[in-house]
Structure 1
Amino acid sequence: MGGVITRRNHFHPTFLFFTFLCFLVSGFAFSADTLLSTHSLSGDQTLLSSRQLFEFGFFTPGNSNKWYVGIWYKNIPNRTYVWVANRDKPLNNSSGIFKISNQSIALLDQANNLIWSSNQTKVSNPVVQLLDTGNLVLTEADGNDQYLWQSFDYPTDTLLPDMKLGWDLNKGLDRYISSWRSAEDPAAGDFSFKLENRGFPEFFLWGDQGKKYRSGPWNGQRFSGVPEMNPTNSMSFDFVINKDEVYYTFHISTKSLYSRLTVTSSGQLQRYTWIPDSQVWNSFWYAPKDQCDNFMQCGPYGICDSNVSPVCKCMSGFQPKNPQAWNLRDGSGGCFRKTNLQCTNDKFLHLRNMKLPESSTSFVDNNMNLKDCELLCLRNCSCTAYANSNISSGGTGCVIWVDGLLDMRQYAEGGQDLYVRLAASEIGNGRSVGALIIGIAVGIAVLLLGIVGCFVWKRKRLLSECKEENAIHERSQNFLLNEVVISSKKDFSGEKDKDELELPLFDFATITTATHNFSSENMLGQGGFGCVYKGRLVEGQEVAVKRLSKTSGQGIEEFKNEVRLIARLQHRNLVRLLGCCIEMDEKMLIYEYMEHRSLDSVLFNKAKSSLLSWPRRFNIVCGIARGLLYLHQDSRFRIIHRDLKASNILLDGEWNPKISDFGMARIFGGDQTEASTRRVVGTYGYMSPEYAMDGLFSMKSDVFSLGVLVLEIVSGNKNRGFYHSNGELNLLGHAWRLWKEGKGLDLLDTSVGNSFSSSEVLRCIQVGLLCVQEQAEDRPTMSSVVLMLSSETATMPQPKTPGYCLGRNPFETDSSSGKQDESFTVNQVTVTILDAR
């Protein structure tokens, strides 16, 4: 956090000498813009920027009787604060001291106790300066061009011009603004405006109840959800995304204009401009401003339009999920498809003036055109919609969604084009509709004649069937479990019989109570299968409840597969299934609760990744390998997981890894070593080339997934979404280049620190590269992997070129263009591809 940032101002020795004289002559009651390391601020002493735009010093808001140090506008009568240092730790009186101490800035109370400090820096002769931008900086006194610390990196509730809002990926800085608790308490309140940098980056306004408002992704001109965001002669906007940073900023070219973006304590995002003539802050823009700005107002696949009543509507090809609530103007349940997708012959519905759907799990390629984007979406059966990622110059780039479309909105003007996938039958023309009406009319006439003839007979039969149906209904809750038991007995004959399944069946009421009626506070995560909730049983045991959504793409087969496999598997590195719940159309699995949740939630989170020290990472790698060895070799049958990835690795309270999610797993019997399928399931970024391209899966396809996972654990980077200045296509290409250049240790995640074993790191990288070799026969078996990881003396071969899922070798060049081809990898999304017959 003590990184280096370019600065604009220069210090001259004469200037520093003059500043020093100001200290002496004024008895430290001064308003210079610079504080030297030999002096301090206290009481009414302040720093004043050179053009007297901003002032820094001690203040107490309202009648709070609490004291803070911060920055405010100098020439605005109604004092407006833009930054507070000790917002969460106030002084009890005005007798504080602000000074440079131990190569950092420090705030001390009257008893010389440390109240607040900046991060420590490597500086020999530090000075603090307040700039005319409102930025408080720590730098060297010799006038070099570097900021060693700046307040702009640690915002409070206000974004000023030229201030960056978003991520510094090198430093792990998440720069966001959060509201004051109240007008007299600058402590962090309930509302914050943060950038989500996954997928297609966009901002969310968070409240105490979760997501409150979404800006939509940046489309080259503006945020998709802010159509009124147009640059003026005085104000311009910019959004930057590269391998080092992802951030939004704005610039003011008119010196007399003041503008700021603030999160208010009432939960609004407000842009204010100062009007000198009236001496007031004018509300230039704010959000949320209407019903359709509320996050998920119309639910999944629903469209909100504030220009019509009711505001929620379902697009063509969809219908309300809860018609009764929909008619009462509650659209939160959203919509669902009238006709299931067919994959190979689907078409697209063209929607105009749209706010793009929630985009954190979307895939972006800025080098594709719209036609290529459509073809890419058609080839991926999980793709639900596509659009241009940049609408400038007629539109460029591609963004595709591979799951539900959330929080959509349609404007009268603004927004952009969105193409939503529909079954071909839902996109027809007038002639086909007319023919359909005629056919229906003829059919109804024939049907009426038939009904009259068989009405009496049908009535008698229905009475007898009604009794039988009631009996079937009483047995329906046990039917699914019986199927699971039978298939388990078939697959594990000789181990246990039906009576020995020993899988408890929980009733729905027990699970409802344990999860507080599936409350949002208890939700641990959400995937294609549905939601996972934390629960506590009556006896006090904490559990994780996986509730299969009624609209989930994972159906009854995946549910049965998970039960019959994992209920029989016992290993310390496999998640333990405690029971299941099958009641009416509810299907749930109850697991042991994992305190640290999934690996991806820690590994790829810059704020948490430092929790994964190298010993923990190495233990996780070895644990996953042992669990996979058990599946492949040590259990009674060979089990191929087929969806091994970071989100399917759970971490218990001791950071031990446990492999989860066996819905896609398959059993190999006897001497079987390979199988093929027309239904490719798994996650792009982790799939082996032979499985992704030809549907061939084996133990070696799991080994490939493990190799990707190992390299992700070492580097802290995802395989999908990894970009590097040298042009590698993904993490595998980057790791391969570093290995060939003898710079393997450069791959290690910097958040690990300096406490690591070089030999262990290099061994893991070599094992990872061996596992992701292009040819399946070159990859090691799991027994060899475990041996190589556990022994420092084991002989290890040199790896060959990695395989690149759905793409060519990045070190090969196209003969016609001479440019490297880019592979298409989508991580974090489980996909299914159906080949045409």
Structure 2
Amino acid sequence: MFPFMLLLFSVSLYPSFSISTDTIFPGESISGNRTLISQGGTFEMGLFSPGNTGNHYIGIWYKGLPQKTLVWVANRNRPVSDPLSSELKLLHDGNLVLLTSSKRQIWSTGSTSLVPNSTSGVLLNNGNFIFRNISNLSNVAWQSFDHLTDTWLPGAKFKFNTSEKTVLVSWRNLNDPAPGIFSASMGSEGRAVFSLFNRSKAYWHCHDSTGYDFELHPSVKTEDMINFTVDSNENGSYSQYSSVAPFSLSRIVLEPTGLLRQLVWAKHTQEWKVLWTQPAQKCEIYPFCGASSNCNQRDAPLCDCALGYLDYLKMKDRLGRCERRNTSNCSGDRKDHFFLMPNTHLPNNYDSVMVENTEA
């Protein structure tokens, strides 16, 4: 009898802090390969490392797909290097923080509760991570859907005409989730008008009054459409969308190239299928091809080096056409020659000089 009582006593002194499948409670943490998994098994949350960078971030991604597809990133600007000793911890005051190996706080939700140990964090099956009151589950104190990164998921409110306006910001590149130069926001004189920006310069607008005159991919059928809605309340206006069967997974993402795309997951081919891409003309995105280059929507590849005419011919002979990935080698600091380029649109911030004629 005595050993049994001793065992009960030891358990009460050292309670288990294992994380439940989709929920994190006050005092619990996530580190290493430990993750939260939404109740329906659609999404997973934990530490991830893009490419071979050695940098680790807290993120949410689709669970079980052949290639990890991120939909949300917490510490975009401040990665951690050691995933085993770093931890995402829910403090007893209701604040979720990311701590380095030295216990230095580098990211937090900034949310606190008046009553200690009253808040839990839950990863929902729509990809939204929320803080809610343990005794009142309808009381949501914080949610990742209010802090979108580069991806807009079904059910998330894209807010406009409000102080908490939603803005999507692209990754810097495919291996760096830090904020890039491209952004997307909505709202123009009270209408749900989508706009894309390179820093502060707008390069595409959706002019339809509903905000959705997107040109669908030619292979997309009518039944593949996505339902968009626009609504308002006392806090402002917002837009939402939902997926239509047979596609249960859908996402709208602003890519590092400046393209805004909607994709759906095709189970039969195990790949993402593009519903639409905007701008439809990639050359509308400045600077899609890089410095000292030109973009030709009617040619393949799109990008050529915009050098002096003689240098341009030499480069074509030597390298063939400048591929999209090679235009960073284009250089304008050679002897210039002028030649005619019809149907060309210059960037909004171009510099002009007066010349006598276009003869070399």
TM-score (normalizing by structure 2): 0.69
TM-aligned CA distance change 1:217 to 1:104, over 3 Å: farther
Which string of whole-angstrom CA distances, capped at 9 and with x for unpartnered residues, describes residues 23-48 of structure 1? 966x63x5610000031111111111
CA shift for structure 1 position 520? 4.5
The alignment partner of 1:56 has SS state of: strand
* Alignment match, 1:235: 226
CA shift for structure 1 position 113? 0.8
Which string of whole-angstrom CA distances, capped at 9 and with x for unpartnered residues, describes residues 254-288 of structure 1? 48621100011111111111111221111221111
Amino acid of the residue matched to residue 99 of structure 1? Answer: K
Matched, 1:185 2:185: no
The alignment partner of 1:174 has SS state of: coil
Give, in whole Å, the separation in 2 of the partners of 1:140 and 1:210: 42
Amino acid of the residue matched to residue 198 of structure 2? Answer: G
TM-aligned CA distance change 1:195 to 1:36, over 3 Å: same
Contact 1:287–1:293 at 8 Å: present in 2 too?
no
34, 51, 55: which one aligns with 2:44: 55
Give, in whole Å, the separation in 2 of the partners of 1:247 and 1:240: 6
Which string of whole-angstrom CA distances, capped at 9 and with x for unpartnered residues, describes residues 84-132 of structure 1? 0001111122121111223221111111111101122335201000000
CA shift for structure 1 position 330? 4.5
CA shift for structure 1 position 154? 0.5
TM-aligned CA distance change 1:218 to 1:39, over 3 Å: same
Amino acid of the residue matched to residue 98 of structure 1? Answer: L
TM-aligned CA distance change 1:64 to 1:239, over 3 Å: same
User: Higher RCO, 1 or 2 (CA under 8 Å, sep at least 6)?
Assistant: 2
* Alignment match, 2:129: 136
Contact 1:202–1:216 at 8 Å: present in 2 too?
yes
230, 233, 246: which one aligns with 2:237: 246
* Alignment match, 1:81: 70
Amino acid of the residue matched to residue 97 of structure 1? Answer: E
CA shift for structure 1 position 329? 2.7
151, 162, 167: which one aligns with 2:160: 167
Amino acid of the residue matched to residue 329 of structure 1? Answer: N
Amino acid of the residue matched to residue 130 of structure 1? Answer: L
Which string of whole-angstrom CA distances, capped at 9 and with x for unpartnered residues, describes residues 368-416 of structure 1? xxxxxxxxxxxxxxxxxxxxxxxxxxxxxxxxxxxxxxxxxxxxxxxxx
CA shift for structure 1 position 292? 9.1
Give, in whole Å, the separation in 1 of the partners of 2:342 and 2:79: 49
Give, in whole Å, the separation in 1 of the partners of 2:48 and 2:237: 34
Amino acid of the residue matched to residue 226 of structure 1? Answer: F
* Alignment match, 1:99: 89
Which string of whole-angstrom CA distances, capped at 9 and with x for unpartnered residues, describes residues 182-223 of structure 1? 11110001111111343544111111471121112434xx52
- For 1:31-70, list aligned pairs within 5 A: 32-70=21-59
Give, in whole Å, the separation in 1 of the partners of 2:127 and 2:187: 26
TM-aligned CA distance change 1:520 to 1:264, over 3 Å: same
Give, in whole Å, the separation in 1 of the partners of 2:33 and 2:282: 46
TM-aligned CA distance change 1:231 to 1:174, over 3 Å: farther
130, 145, 151: which one aligns with 1:152: 145
TM-aligned CA distance change 1:205 to 1:108, over 3 Å: same
Give, in whole Å, the separation in 1 of the partners of 2:247 and 2:194: 29
Matched, 1:226 2:240: no
CA shift for structure 1 position 65? 0.5
Contact 1:31–1:45 at 8 Å: present in 2 too?
no
Matched, 1:283 2:237: no
Matched, 1:262 2:253: yes
When you count strand as a share of all residues, which structure comes out higher?
2
* Alignment match, 1:329: 343
- For 1:559-708, list aligned pairs within 5 A: none
TM-aligned CA distance change 1:188 to 1:332, over 3 Å: closer
When you count helix as a share of all residues, which structure comes out higher?
1
Matched, 1:206 2:197: yes
CA shift for structure 1 position 233? 6.7
Amino acid of the residue matched to residue 136 of structure 1? Answer: F
Give, in whole Å, the separation in 2 of the partners of 1:66 and 1:143: 37
Contact 1:231–1:237 at 8 Å: present in 2 too?
no
The alignment partner of 1:260 has SS state of: strand
Q: Percent identity?
A: 28
TM-aligned CA distance change 1:520 to 1:241, over 3 Å: farther
Contact 2:247–2:265 at 8 Å: present in 1 too?
no
Aligned length: 281
Amino acid of the residue matched to residue 51 of structure 1? Answer: G
- For 1:311-330, list aligned pairs within 5 A: 328-330=342-344
Amino acid of the residue matched to residue 96 of structure 1? Answer: S
Give, in whole Å, the separation in 2 of the partners of 1:332 and 1:199: 31
Which string of whole-angstrom CA distances, capped at 9 and with x for unpartnered residues, describes residues 337-360 of structure 1? xxxxxxxxxxxxxxxxxxxxxxxx
55, 60, 85: which one aligns with 1:71: 60
The answer for unaligned runs of 5 or more in structure 1 is 1-22, 296-305, 307-326, 334-518, 523-837
CA shift for structure 1 position 242? 4.9
TM-score (normalizing by structure 1): 0.31
The alignment partner of 2:206 has SS state of: strand
* Alignment match, 1:715: none
Give, in whole Å, the separation in 1 of the partners of 2:156 and 2:121: 18
Considering only CA atoms, is the larger Rg found in Structure 1 or Structure 2? 1
Which string of whole-angstrom CA distances, capped at 9 and with x for unpartnered residues, describes residues 602-659 of structure 1? xxxxxxxxxxxxxxxxxxxxxxxxxxxxxxxxxxxxxxxxxxxxxxxxxxxxxxxxxx
Q: How well do the aligned residues superpose, as a CA RMSD in angstroms?
A: 3.3
Give, in whole Å, the separation in 1 of the partners of 2:161 and 2:264: 28
